[in-house]
Amino acid sequence: MEPIIVFENVHFSYPGDEKESLHGIDLSIARGSFVAVLGQNGSGKSTLAKHMNAILVPDEGRVLVDGIDTADESRILDVRRRVGMVFQNPDNQIVANVVEDDVAFAPENLGVEPKEIRHRVDSSLRLVGMYEHRMHAPHLLSGGQKQRVAIAGVIAMTPEIIVLDEPTAMLDPQGRREVVDTAFALCRGRGMTVVLITHHMEECIDADRVLILSKGRLTADGRPEEIFADKALLEREGLEQPETARLLRELREAGMRLPGEALKIGDCADQIAQALQAEERSRSSWQKSSPKS
Amino acid sequence: MAEIITEKLSHVYSAGTPFESTALHDVSISIPQGQFAAVIGHTGSGKSTFIQHLNALLQPTEGRVLLDGQDINNDKYTRRDVKWKVGLVFQYPEYQLFEETVYKDIAFGPSNMKLSKEEIDERVREAAAFTGVSEELFERSPLELSGGQKRRIAIAGVIAMRPEILILDEPTAGLDPAGCAQIFENIRSYREKSGATVLIVSHSMDDVARLAERIIVFDRGTVVMDDTPASVFSRAKELMEIGLNVPKAAELAVALRDRGIGLPEGIFTHERLLAALLQLREGRKC
Amino acid sequence: MLRDVTLGQYFPGNTVVHRLDPRTKILLVVIYIIALFQAQGWISYGLVTLVTLVCMALSKIKPSSMFKGVKPMLFIIVLTALLNIFYTEGTPIRPGWIITWEGIARAVQMMLRIILLISGTFLLTYTTSPIALTDGLEMLLSPLKKLKVPVHEMTMMMSMALRFIPTLIAETDKIMSAQKARGADFETGSLIQRAKALLPILVPLFVSAFKRADELAVAMESRCYHGGEGRTRMKQLIMQRRDTIALVLGLLFLTAMIVLKRVGL
């Protein structure tokens, strides 16, 4: 697959900080993929995210977005237009008093024609399911709704990549679902590249790829099934194995035949049910045949 | 000792304005000394309004709140004194830190109680120990510490009042899994050593399932369930219908039952689910 | 409770007054204020009052909400009236009294002037959304850009402030509750004690406001904000016929007031 974001040996430390926040990151993200980034507080996740749209630029190494070097100041708007960022605190990224005016903010900054802005604002709000609320005041919306407005606000730039930096950390479970579902819909339905940074493992299970960041280094990179099956790795990173993966592993250790990995509740239940039925069948056929002998 | 009771508690916000809204309706609950209870419900279910009545931050529109049989809203003195007995830790408490040093911030509550210097010092050290705040940090400014440290300092600030009832509103919101585990461990140890009642508001059902003895479920301003975790989570489907999460193990149990696996009721932790599945297998073998 | 404070003075609506271009409304308010200060006699005061009432009727703003706006100023209004009653020379209403007929007349006129001034400006904020207001202001002031006055930045700051007022009020509310839960006492004690008691609120509020400002700046930059240069607007302000008519009526009103002043009415 064609890479759309490339990190080449990226080092970064904040001014006045002795320790490096990013410690030689090499990473290539494929166009149209859904990449989840896990890591503890202070692991450098947000710093990584901020390198993707030139809010921060590397001290050493380079970051290419769609082939553009983010350190090239003359092309900074080209980078930012391609990479939409959604942040943790919904209140601190909404600039306007009315939902639709907020969504219009980025295209206005880019000097888009008024008619085209109107069109983009309406379609972005429909895409995240907030069109009905376009005339509302943002501070009266729920956390999940605010984050969806923030997503609409970056979609209106027609970006190719959306980077969500812990967008669900301050939300309740319902708001979390709203935001994660929206992110997946953008990737699967619209072909956008999505980078989701999160603490919540259950938000990663449908991703194409999971990265784990620890002390400024990438310590794991793989499909969610691989990462979450690796108990030792998760323990080392201070992460708990998802219930589904843990149950399958422990049942297997107890001698059940469970060939595949499954992270979703439904898939996991299917596997266990099938395994139990298979055992039942083999037992009954064994019981049928045994009296003869 | 401290038993807290609400009698037909109702609360209406902005009464008499176009923004009038009923946040609580007819809530009667009694929490005995030493219980570890969890309050769950989605945003706007009334759970935050409920807990703010327990230390008289909010006054009931109707009904009463009794602590050891006394109405906590009797007069302004009882309303103030109840704050020492019922310690309330708000959501994102790190945003309430304001003193120059960690020590002074933890001491803010006890100082307001007009205790002696020695008494305050003892309590600050004790509270810091409970929440894993190292004494080396005492002279540092709380503002320059990490988010997780700030949160534990803020919790210590409430524990330092030695509340008989400790209420925490989503104490782990926004923390990473390691940070969450540490906070829950701090709370557990405080309860164990002090014998205090603990009331926790949380969305993290797996932690609630592991820790709480009782779960109170709010929906649209009323209590819709109030029982042991086993009974509450055996109604997993109802909980999911009102938009709440259930522990992953309970969700899995529901999914397995839907697929015709005859699991018993009351499964909500990983251990029970695993044991039940293995037992089922053994049973079939025989 | 702070949450009961009604903020954002804007009452959404779809009346003629609401639909006027914000620039027109700002200019009309300026005209209105100049006209108001021309008033000297009862007839001119009557005319201004009449115009104000007609505008209120057109905008369908309830007199009660108007009164809410005037209420906080009540003290000043009454004080001005009293001063005028007692300190105006003229014919006493009874021999030997300091209260004069002229004083009463002046007091009533001063009260009327303040009330009309408040009502006129509130009519603007009641019928114009904050964002339209700042947009209108930016466009009206845009000639000043040539003189290097940072008009865009100023109006941007204004609209940001408006956006964050409700958020900061909610935050203050939360911090106050949290400190009360730790036994902070904001209600009793001497003035100095009470001022000291504000520290636990102000420090966290400032810390969080700075954090917000920081995050907001990053978020705005991420969305390609780079000042007013090359910026377009989704909502174009276009002067309609009703705006021309309104401005002409406004100027006629001002002329009438000046004429009335000349003839001493």
B213-223: string of b/e by CB count within 10 Å (b at 16+)? Answer: ebbbbbbebbb
A89 interfaces chain B, CB cutoff of 8 Å: no
With a cut of 90, say whether residue C10 has pLDDT above it: no
Mean pLDDT of C20-38: 92
Residues of chain B by 3-state class (helix, strand, coil), percent to 5 = 45, 20, 35
> Number of folded domains in chain A?
2
Q: Are residues C258 and C178 in the same domain?
A: no
Residue in the structure block whose two tokens are 């200019």: C27
Q: Do B252 and A242 touch (CB under 8 A)?
A: no
Q: Are C59 and C10 in contact (CB under 8 A)?
A: no
Q: Are residues A197 and A152 in the same domain?
A: yes
pLDDT band for position C189 (50/70/90)? confident
> Number of folded domains in chain C?
2
Q: Are residues C242 and C122 in the same domain?
A: yes
The pair phi, psi for residue C86, each rounded to 5°, is -90, -20
Contacts of A199 in chain B (CB under 8 A): 175-177
Q: Are residues A206 and A232 in the same domain?
A: yes
pLDDT on residue C9: 65
3-state secondary structure of C60: coil
Q: Are residues C192 and C217 in the same domain?
A: yes
User: Could you report the per-residue pLDDT of A204-245, keeping only the tens digit for each?
Assistant: 999 999 999 999 999 999 999 999 999 999 989 888 888 999
CA of A31 vs chain C CAs: smallest distance (Å): 20
pLDDT on residue B1: 57
**C34 is a domain residue:** yes
Q: Do B98 and C204 touch (CB under 8 A)?
A: yes
Q: Do B90 and C183 touch (CB under 8 A)?
A: no
Q: Do C219 and A104 touch (CB under 8 A)?
A: no
From the list A85, A93, A117, the residue facing C216 with the nearest CB is A93
Q: Note down the domain range covering A274.
A: 248-292
Contacts of A135 in chain C (CB under 8 A): 12
Q: Are residues A141 and A111 in the same domain?
A: yes
pLDDT on residue C1: 40
Nearest CA to B14 out of A106, C225, C2 is that of C2
C-alpha neighbours within 13 Å on the C-beta side of residue A171: 27
3-state secondary structure of A162: strand
Sequence-ordered strand ranges (E) for chain B: 4-13, 21-31, 36-40, 62-67, 70-71, 86-89, 165-169, 197-201, 214-219, 222-227
- ipTM of the complex in this document: 0.88
Nearest CA in chain B to C180: B57
pLDDT on residue B119: 95
From the list A87, A117, A154, the residue facing C234 with the nearest CB is A117
**C55 is a domain residue:** yes
CA of B73 vs chain A CAs: smallest distance (Å): 31
Using CB atoms, list chains with 3+ pairs below 8 Å to chain C: A, B
Helix (H) or strand (E) holding B108: helix B102-112
pLDDT lower than 50: segments of chain B = none
Question: Cα A34 to the chain's mean position, in Å?
Answer: 6
CB pairs under 8 A between A and C: 99
Q: Are residues A165 and A258 in the same domain?
A: no
What is B110-162 written as a DSSP string?
Answer: HHHTT--HHHHHHHHHHHHHHTT--GGGTTS-GGGS-HHHHHHHHHHHHHTT-
Q: Do A114 and C160 touch (CB under 8 A)?
A: no
Count of all residues that appear for chain A in the document = 293
Q: Are residues C103 and C171 in the same domain?
A: no
Q: Are C212 and A92 in contact (CB under 8 A)?
A: yes
Count of all residues that appear for chain B in the document = 286
Q: Are residues A65 and A177 in the same domain?
A: yes
User: Could you report the per-residue pLDDT of C218-258, keeping only the tens digit for each?
Assistant: 999 999 998 888 888 888 878 888 999 999 999 999 999 99
For residues C193 and B140, what is the distance between their CA atoms, to the nearest angstrom? Answer: 26
Q: Note down the domain range covering C177.
A: 151-222
Count of all residues that appear for chain C in the document = 265
pLDDT lower than 50: segments of chain A = 292-293
C3 interfaces chain A, CB cutoff of 8 Å: no
Q: Are residues C112 and C23 in the same domain?
A: yes
pLDDT on residue A291: 54
Q: Are residues A129 and A263 in the same domain?
A: no
- CB under 8 Å to A40, separation ≥6 — which residues? A214, A237, A238, B176, B177, B178, B179
Give me the percent of chain A exceeding a pLDDT of 90. Answer: 74
Tokens matching residue A85: 């960022």
